[in-house]
Structure 1
């Protein structure tokens, strides 16, 4: 994690003095307005908060115990990964993408079910939302923050069969390893559709499907316009928290590439 850069005490003092000067000048002008006093000039200085700003020993000493405690929590092993995973390992679907989709279903479905009595049919996330890989070996909370640094939340949308068909066409056109679960798309070598299954059943254009995604994609992120107008259930669960919770309860991670989205040879 990057350390926040702190403004030193001299800078804080200058701004404080400046603020006091403006306040006193304003009070003075209001109380003496009948005499025609005016504020002629206000001056201040600007200090860039960048790599050239030196740290203050007193502040560093103050935060040191908190930093040590936080580093200890972030570096504590909470799971184990058997094989290195990165989002560009394969085309169409990847082990780390399959892991993210599985986590959203595993962690999000019980909450959604308890609130609605329904289960999740499909999970759809975005390839670009995976911000780091996961090496083989110990898995820490820091890894979870690196993979998912955003505060995106799990939401569940109700899509018509027509909207799901639009989603399938979107995935085929993009041919990107967007994490999916519950959906299988098999293409022929000429990119025509060979098989589309939802939970091992053909797409029913007249059915309403529940699709777990994140709030960014539901709002049209990555041009996923097929979510527009779909009823939504918020389950108040950040994806990063779901990742952490999953890592803590699963001793060993074992995810592979499969044929959930593939081209037949």
Structure 2
């Protein structure tokens, strides 16, 4: 694969009367980066120690996974999706409650945001970077019952195991909604709910436009990846399974 570096030259016009500088042109050229280019030994030597230190930090074992944890092992929910949503709930809720006095009702993040499985064996900070390589951070969104209804309809229609926590959805054999519970209580369309999600979804990512109807948004300044690392640090064994939080009855 060939990469490119683009060099841009700015031309600025300045008169002798010290008038404000004015941009009069931009030129640039594209320089391909291929295997024919060689690194400069002095620079490679300089950065080598930094690279070694970063690798040591990323690869230090934080926990252990007895089995592979993946988003591909369930139709309506998955072991990895459940783990991720539960991590967000466990790590974000105390922060949100301390700042607002309120609690998160449920979590929704997107299936596509999980970019790697968690392999059986040692779990490290690098594991978190592989699963969640983006700088997505946790947002807590206040939604009306009407908007939450749209959220539920979206999950039912998507036929995708989007990670959820605190939410229990049951479909009948014809894929029609049978029941919805939030924190163990039936969904109430007349109340508001606090939903933890990512800043990406808050903007309507993955067609989750219902988040654009947010009544109030709280940024708790917490990266999802950092929540994962904190969770791995706290728990020496990482386990997760497909369960009944979103199921279809036969």
Q: TM-score, normalised by structure 2?
A: 0.88
Unaligned 5+ segments in structure 2 are: 17-26
Alignment partner of 2:51 out of 63, 67, 73: 67
Give the match for residue 236 of structure 1. Answer: 221
1:29-44 alignment runs, 5 A limit: none
The 2-side partners of 1:101 and 1:56 are apart by: 45
Give the number of aligned pairs. Answer: 238
Paired position in structure 2 for 1:247: 232
RMSD: 2.4
Inter-partner Cα distance in structure 1 for 2:36 and 2:186: 60
Q: CA deviation at 1:53?
A: 2.6
Task: Give the match for residue 158 of structure 1.
Answer: 142
Query: 1:48 aligns to what SS in structure 2?
Result: strand
Specify the alignment match of 1:89 in structure 2.
Answer: 73
Distance 2:195 2:63 in 1: 28
Tell me if 1:55 matches 2:39. Answer: yes
Cα-to-partner distance string for 1:122-145 (whole Å, 9 max, x where unaligned): 100000000100011110111100
The residue aligned with 2:21 is none
Partner of 2:97: 113
Q: Report which of the two structures shows the higher radius of gyration computed on alpha carbons.
A: 1
The C-alpha deviation readout for 1:85-133, integer Å capped at 9, x for no partner, is 1211221100100010011011101110010000110100000000100
Give unmatched runs, 5+ long, in structure 1: 8-14, 32-42
Measured in 1, the distance between the counterparts of 2:34 and 2:95 equals 43
SS at match of 1:64: helix
Deviation beyond 4 Å, 4+ runs, structure 1? 43-46
Q: How big is each residue's C-alpha offset from its partner over 1:124-167, in whole Å with a ceiling of 9 and x where there is no partner? A: 00000001000111101111000001011100011111111111
3-state DSSP class of the match of 2:85? helix
| 1:263 and 2:248 correspond | yes
* Structure 1 equivalent of residue 198 of structure 2: 214
* Secondary structure of 2:175 counterpart: coil
CA distance in 1, matches of 2:73, 2:209: 27
More strand by share: 2
Q: CA deviation at 1:46?
A: 4.7
Task: Report how far residue 194 of structure 1 moved.
Answer: 1.9
